[in-house]
């Protein structure tokens, strides 16, 4: 069984897609651990590890590996397929809004 940690961001994204989770971080960690044990890993971009959920093949957890600690950290997740639970236009709008709030203000010296 893999040691798995889950960020707040990943837990929030999970709750957007899977309703009824009382402890989303624990649930994500358990699902990722089972998928890792089943060999559902694939390399991602920039050193990320993609883990495909066993129960929902459209749900993909994006992880980074903390090798010194022997830990897999779930940083976010996304879902593929033709009919995602959270349409791409909403996730794209959230991404644009997040970038806008991080942009430096023109009024600052």
How is the chain split into domains, by residue range? 3-102
Q: Which CATH number fits domain 3-102: 3.30.2310.20, 3.40.50.300, 3.40.50.150, 2.60.40.420?
A: 3.30.2310.20
15, pLDDT greater than 70: yes
Which residue, 56, 74, 64, is CA-closest to 18?
56
Contacts of residue 79, defined as CB under 8 A and 6 or more positions apart, other chains included, come to 17, 56, 58, 59, 60, 85, 86
User: What per-residue confidence (pLDDT) applies to 19?
Assistant: 73
The pLDDT tens digits for 23-81 are 999 999 999 999 999 999 999 999 999 999 999 888 999 999 998 898 999 999 988 75
Give the integer Cα–Cα distance in Å for 22 and 50. Answer: 24
Q: Which residue has the higher pLDDT, 85 or 67?
A: 67
The pLDDT tens digits for 87-100 are 444 444 444 544 55
Burial status of residue 43 (CB atoms within 10 A of its CB: 0-12, 13-18, 19 or more): exposed
Give pTM, 2 decimals: 0.73
User: What per-residue confidence (pLDDT) applies to 109?
Assistant: 46
Give the integer Cα–Cα distance in Å for 48 and 56. Answer: 20
């Amino acid at each position: 069984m893999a040691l798995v940690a889950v960020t707040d961001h990943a837990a929030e994204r999970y709750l957007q897609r899977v309703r009824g989770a009382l402890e989303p971080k624990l649930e994500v960690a358990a699902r990722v651990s089972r998928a890792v044990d089943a060999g559902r890993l694939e390399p991602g971009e920039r050193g990320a590890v993609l883990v495909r959920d066993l129960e929902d093949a459209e749900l993909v957890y994006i992880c980074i590996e903390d090798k010194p600690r022997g830990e897999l950290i779930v940083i976010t997740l996304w879902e593929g397929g033709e009919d995602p639970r959270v349409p791409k236009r909403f996730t794209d709008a959230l991404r644009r809004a997040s970038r806008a709030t991080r942009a430096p203000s023109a009024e600052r010296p």
